[in-house]
């Protein structure tokens, strides 16, 4: 199964961008108009995030979202064979903050949300940033063959992969080394009773606390990353340094600041976020989660 999946995606990635984007347009139309993929979830999320917008405005954001979603998938396939020089051309980022931290001998965590195209960012960072221990924390795909395919893609330029499910074990080799760690940090936690709850666009939602625990334990620097498309297939990332020493932050402060950053980034590009993600699937219950609620 692995070889079949890999061969199919590899051959598909050899198609030129114009053909791939035609496939993406067809897929977006099918998802939006025929299948209506998670349309109710998307519109409900948009209503929570943008209550001030009209229904027509939210539907327009929803429409743009479908095309960004399918572009994200098609572009990720293209990454199997896209040359280094073209990745540099398609993804722009000023790494001066990271280079300075590296010179100072600081390990650091780069936190981002599910902005399009986060898979492009994974490869672009590992291609552009020279670091012996560039760690990519990922959420395993249930299908083992497909998971192996994407492991190969994500480690194409030397990133070391760390499964979120076995983080403690996988991280052991790097505990006493300098490292740079890239984390998509807006995942739904497996156990909301152990998560931190933060108002996200005014509604309480659980956020994983692993990134904060790791950062405080190793006293890493914290950098936030926003990604957005400049035009179709071309992306830019902006990095913001929160702190050089995570232990200087109050407990919960990192998560609160990340959620603020996430909201601000989404407001700039409302369609450029994974709205099909069931961000509010866990219901906040004061008697259970009240003690876990962080104030913004």
Question: What's the average model confidence in pLDDT over 247-256?
Answer: 95
pLDDT at 190: 75
- Give percent above pLDDT 90 in the chain: 84
Query: What is the arithmetic mean of pLDDT over 38-44?
Result: 98
- Looking at residue 293, its pLDDT comes to 79
Provide the β-strand partners of residue 243.
222
Average pLDDT over residues 214-227: 96
End-to-end CA distance of the chain: 47
User: pLDDT at position 251, please?
Assistant: 93
Question: Is the pLDDT assigned to residue 288 strictly greater than 80?
Answer: no
Mean pLDDT for 198-218 is 94
Comparing 46 with 138, the larger pLDDT belongs to: 46
Query: What six digits make up the tokens of 272?
Result: 């450029």
CA-based R_g, the chain, Å: 19
Residue 286 confidence (pLDDT) above 90: no
Strand pairing of 91-93 and 134-138? unpaired
Mean pLDDT, the chain, rounded, equals: 94
Distance (Å) of CA 237 to CA 120, 124, 131, 160, 218:
10, 10, 18, 21, 25
* pTM reported for the whole predicted model: 0.94
When pLDDT is cut at 50, 70 and 90, the band that residue 184 belongs to is very high
Position 290 scores a pLDDT of 78
Rounded alpha-carbon distances, angstroms, from residue 141 to 34, 67, 138? 26, 23, 9
The answer on pLDDT for 12 being more than 80 is: yes
Please enumerate in sequence order all residues whose Cβ is within 8 A of that of 160, keeping only pairs 6 or more positions apart, or say none: 133, 134, 135, 136, 174
- The whole-number average pLDDT for the span 200-220 is 94
Range with top average pLDDT, 17-21, 139-143, 288-292: 17-21
Answer yes or no: is pLDDT of 292 > 90.
Answer: no
DSSP, collapsed to helix, strand or coil, labels residue 33 as helix
Mean pLDDT to the nearest integer, 239-243: 98
State the CB neighbour count (10 A cutoff) for residue 145: 13
Greatest CA separation found in the chain? 55
What is the helix, strand, coil percentage profile of the chain, to 5?
Answer: 50, 20, 30
């Amino acid at each position: 199964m692995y070889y079949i999946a890999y061969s199919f995606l590899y051959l598909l990635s050899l198609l030129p961008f114009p053909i791939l984007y035609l496939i993406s347009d067809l897929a977006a139309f099918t998802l939006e108009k025929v299948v209506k993929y998670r349309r109710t979830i998307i519109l409900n999320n948009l209503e929570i995030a943008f209550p001030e917008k009209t229904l027509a405005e939210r539907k327009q954001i929803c429409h743009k979202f479908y095309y960004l979603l399918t572009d994200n998938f098609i572009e990720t396939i293209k990454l199997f064979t896209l040359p280094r020089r073209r990745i540099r051309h398609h993804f722009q980022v000023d790494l001066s903050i990271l280079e300075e931290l590296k010179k100072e001998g600081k390990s650091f965590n780069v936190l981002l949300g599910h902005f399009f195209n986060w898979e492009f960012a994974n490869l672009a960072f590992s291609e552009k940033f020279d670091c012996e221990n560039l760690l990519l924390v990922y959420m395993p795909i249930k299908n083992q063959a497909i998971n192996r395919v994407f492991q190969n893609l994500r480690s194409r330029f030397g990133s070391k992969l760390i499964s979120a499910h076995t983080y403690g074990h996988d991280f052991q080799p790097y505990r006493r080394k300098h490292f740079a760690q890239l984390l998509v940090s807006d995942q739904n936690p497996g156990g909301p009773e152990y998560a931190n709850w933060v108002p996200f666009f005014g509604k309480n939602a659980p956020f994983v606390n692993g990134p904060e625990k790791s950062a405080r334990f190793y006293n890493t620097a914290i950098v936030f990353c926003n990604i957005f498309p400049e035009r179709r297939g071309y992306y830019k990332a902006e990095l913001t340094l929160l702190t050089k020493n995570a232990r200087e932050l109050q407990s919960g402060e990192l998560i609160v600041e990340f959620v603020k950053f996430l909201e601000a980034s989404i407001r700039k590009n409302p369609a450029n976020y994974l709205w099909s993600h069931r961000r509010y699937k866990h219901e906040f219950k004061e008697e259970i989660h009240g003690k876990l609620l962080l104030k913004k």
